[in-house]
Amino acid sequence: MQSRRSFLKYSVLLSGLAAGLDAFGGAAQRSILLRSSWQVENIGDIGHTPGVITLLEQHYPDVEVRLWPVDIGKGVDQMLMKRFPKLKIITSEADVGKAFAECAFMLHGSGPSLVRGKDLALWKEQTGKPYGIYGITFPGVYGLPADRWKFKPEDVSTMTGAQFALFRDSASLAFAREKGVKSTVMEFCPDGAFAVDLKDDAKASAFLKNHDLKNGQFVCVIPQLRFTPWWELPRKNQKPNADKHARNEAMKEHDNAPIRAAITAVARRTPYKILIVPENETQMRIGKEMLFDPLPDDVKQKTVLRTEYWLTDEAISTYVRSAGLFGIEMHSPIMCIGNRIPAIVCRFEEQTSKGIMWKDIGLDEWLFDFDKPADIDRLVPTVLDMLTNKKATSRKVDKALAFVHKRQKETMALMGQYLS
């Protein structure tokens, strides 16, 4: 309801501001309006935004970026401004209206779906200026097989009207084509979080020192349930979902037992320690219950459980000091590979098709579907191989990252003609 009210308010405001503008708005024609920053309770969702801004900074250093965030609290705004001191973060209706009037291009950032398709439609209606969609999953459905994926019909029109519609996994690209999306450019585009370079070395170093974790001598691990229990976080203001909770309870041991087995193998068969970390704010509890507490005593002695949530900068500064990462999440692995740290992705049906991007960038051997027993069986040997066969691991990371960089360069070039 709040989203609908905000949309209507912006629509009324912008109809007045846009009146009389030429095709490219006002004076700040070399400005991009970036719609991004979906939530702050997940370091990966935070990471979409600085990743895309870093790419814009690299490829369009003289272009102003105005960030129109959905959620940027809990210190995320300060973290972004520290890295991007020229960034303009706009939150008021007046500033959004000014951006509609002045910016030459609107970019929908990387995300789990076409998160703010209505805002792109409003931009098109009120300004007639070009817009693009950079690295999304479509439709972003959780817990359904592909033949039951649902989507908003208006999103097809919005994506078709974009100068480019780029998808972060090949399954989304194929689905969009099948459902009639006909943007001029429709291609695979790596998730924006691959480009994140935020760092908080002081916090990371202090934590590692306090827990006797030495650079390159520990592995990061992330737990997860079938559905993230956002209802556990008061800030999200969500009612408990009985069906999702029941599914979580039914599958939590099935899904996290293979991760525990890999932790145990690492502890007993390699010199590495293990650091259990969260990607979102619910995972400190999950990590304790499903990974740390059930471990044998000898394995616990080599395992550290992080009990506090962190932001993306400290997480990356920790990941780059690790020997690698594995777990049931997507964006920490993305940020690891983006910083040349090996990472394994485990997934299941309830997640979206985003995991397929691991195949798309050439890391299919490091992608595990926990709904397939054969994949569960190969997890432990693959984790051990990733950590011990260092030359092959390094080659695999470098090859994948080279492909990511190639696609980043090619996709960023798509905006050039609209910013000249």
**Tokens 């011990």 sit on residue:** 388
Residue 1: predicted pLDDT: 42
Order of strands across the sheet that contains 343-347: 303-305, 273-276, 218-222, 325-327, 343-347, 367-369
Q: DSSP states of 140-171 as a string?
A: --SS--GGG----HHHHHHHHTSSEEEESSHH
Give the whole-angstrom CA distance, residue 295 versus residue 298.
8
Torsion angles phi and psi, residue 203, rounded to 5: -65, -45
Among the CATH numbers 3.40.50.2000, 3.40.50.300, 1.10.3080.10, 3.40.50.1820, which is that of 201-388? 3.40.50.2000
Q: Is domain 2-193+405-419 annotated with CATH 3.40.50.11720?
A: yes
C-beta atoms surrounding 379 within 10 Å: 19
Tokens standing for residue 262: 């890999």
Domain layout of the chain by residue ranges = 2-193+405-419, 201-388
Mean pLDDT by 10 residues, the chain (420 residues): 47 47 48 97 98 98 97 97 98 96 97 97 97 96 80 95 98 96 98 98 98 98 98 96 97 98 98 98 98 98 98 98 98 98 96 96 98 98 98 98 98 94
Question: Of 387, 380, 221, 382, nearest to 304 (Cα)?
Answer: 221
Tokens standing for residue 399: 């090859």
Helix locations, 60-187, DSSP H: 76-83, 93-102, 117-127, 153-160, 170-178
Identical fold for domains 2-193+405-419 and 201-388, yes or no, is: yes
Residue 14: predicted pLDDT: 53
Give the whole-angstrom CA distance, residue 135 versus residue 47.
13
**Tokens 């970390």 sit on residue:** 277
Does the pTM surpass 0.75? The reply is yes
Residue 187: predicted pLDDT: 98
Angle between helices 390-412 and 379-388 in degrees, nearest 10: 90
Tokens standing for residue 341: 């740290």
Q: Are 311 and 44 in contact (CB under 8 A)?
A: no
